[in-house]
Amino acid sequence: MSSAIDVRGLRKSYGDKLVLDGIDLNVAEGTIFGLLGPNGAGKTTAVQILSTLTAADAGEIRVAGFDLHQNPEGVRSAIGVTGQFSAVDGLLTGRENLIMMADLHHLGRREGRLRADELLERFDLVEAGAKLASTYSGGMKRRLDLAMTLVGDPRIIFLDEPTTGLDPRSRHSMWQLIRELVAGGVTVLLTTQYLDEADELADQIAVLDHGRLVAQGTAEQLKRLVPGGHVRLRFTAPDDFALASQVLPAAARDEEALVLQVPNDGSVHSLRALLGRIDDASLEVDELTVHTPDLDDVFFAVTGQPTVETSPEKVTTK
């Protein structure tokens, strides 16, 4: 698979403050890449550099196949950016904002209007389309912002903290929109400080802390980096529970619920070993669930920080 974004040795400092300290990134086409990190980790700076807004101090950067230093215009023609701070024109209506974008992409008068109306429809802004964007709620502004980014059919979209400050409902509708984009073949690089958001959306996650990438992989791979995984076995018969406790002495017991928690990293190999022991003892297990650590644990393990800011709404999918 070819790379939509390829970055090697990206560095940036502001004065004597080092913001990005040698970042390597590779984003495959048609995937969602999540750049995860706390405030001040350098996420926004990374997006600003990749979207040609800020010049890097060092590093080789290719976006959509274009060398960013040699051909920033080529990069600009392939990307769309929705920043952390709303990039809509408050003194224009939603529809006028979209038509302005269509004009800047030289779509032509008729085509531009059609595109604007189609996006208003898709982003649930038809009624709001005739109102000034400055009167929009946070969630509406963010939707208009993303719709404006899509006017030019970009192949690569940068989303800098797309759901920061949104209420849970707007947040979920934004997630849905992002998934639809990628289903249409677009590549998305998103930054977030919410672990659950990266977990929900991203195919690949890179954890950024103090300007360095401290871990990279799929959510599952990252979770396996940290100890603390276990397999939970629930029994219906007290006899089986008692026997299992003898066979698996390392397990934590919950006699009331007839539940054993067996330490296990969740890999195929160790699961097979555990199942073998259950079979050998002819144990009747009512329910077996594998628990890998969540990204909270990962973040703590790789950054040494207790936690990032918690999300406005904790989505638990266990």
Partner 1 sequence: MSYALQDTATMLRRNLRHAQRYPGLSLGALGMPVIMILLFGLVFGDTFSAGLGGSGAGFDYIDFLTPGILLMSIASGTMSPAVAVCMDMTEGIVARFRTMAIFRPAVLTGHVLGNVLVTIVSLALVVGFAVLIGFRPNASLGDWLLAAGLMIALTVALTWFAIALGLTSKTPEAASNVVLPISLLLPFLSNTFIPLESMPSGIRWFAEYQPFTPTINTLRHLLLGTPMDSGDGWLALAWCAAIAVVGYFWAQKNYNKGTVA
Nearer to partner 1 (CB atom), residue 33 or residue 235: 33
Q: Which two tokens stand for residue 205?
A: 């996650």
Asked whether position 187 contacts partner 1 by CB under 8 A, the answer is no
Q: Which two tokens stand for residue 77?
A: 């023609």
In 3D space, the residue among 316, 262, 317, 314 whose CA is nearest the CA of residue 290 turns out to be 262
Binder among 83, 94, 162, 211 for partner 1 (CB under 8 A): 83
Question: What backbone torsions phi and psi does residue 83 show, to the nearest 5 degrees?
Answer: -80, 180
| Distances, alpha carbon 56 to alpha carbons 20, 59, 216, in Å | 9, 7, 22
Instruction: Give the span between the Cα atoms of 113 and 3, in whole angstroms.
Output: 33
| Distances, alpha carbon 255 to alpha carbons 220, 228, 237, 238, 263, in Å | 31, 21, 11, 8, 17
- 224, 297 in Cβ contact below 8 A? no
Residue count at the site for partner 1 (CB under 8 A)?
32
Smallest distance from partner 1 to CB 106, Å: 6
Asked whether position 104 contacts partner 1 by CB under 8 A, the answer is yes
Asked whether position 126 contacts partner 1 by CB under 8 A, the answer is no
Asked whether position 100 contacts partner 1 by CB under 8 A, the answer is yes
Which residues inside 196-225 make contact with partner 1, applying CB under 8 A? Answer: none
Nearer to partner 1 (CB atom), residue 37 or residue 80: 80
Nearer to partner 1 (CB atom), residue 105 or residue 291: 105
Asked whether position 18 contacts partner 1 by CB under 8 A, the answer is no
Binder among 57, 85, 135, 138 for partner 1 (CB under 8 A): 85
Pairing of strands 79-82, 156-160: parallel
Q: Which residues are registered as beta bridge partners of 62?
A: 6, 67
Smallest distance from partner 1 to CB 250, Å: 55
Helices (H), 19-137: 43-50, 72-78, 94-104, 109-122
User: What letter does residue 26 receive in the DSSP assignment?
Assistant: E
Binder among 3, 13, 31, 54 for partner 1 (CB under 8 A): 54
- 171, 163 in Cβ contact below 8 A? yes
Which residues inside 140-179 make contact with partner 1, applying CB under 8 A? Answer: 145, 148-149, 152
Question: What backbone torsions phi and psi does residue 107 show, to the nearest 5 degrees?
Answer: -80, -15
Smallest distance from partner 1 to CB 33, Å: 18
Asked whether position 52 contacts partner 1 by CB under 8 A, the answer is yes
Q: Which span sits near partner 1 by CB under 8 A: 97-105, 188-196, 216-224, 249-257?
A: 97-105
The contact set with partner 1 (CB under 8 A) reads 51-55, 68-69, 72-73, 76-77, 79, 81, 83, 85-92, 96, 100, 103-104, 106, 132, 145, 148-149, 152
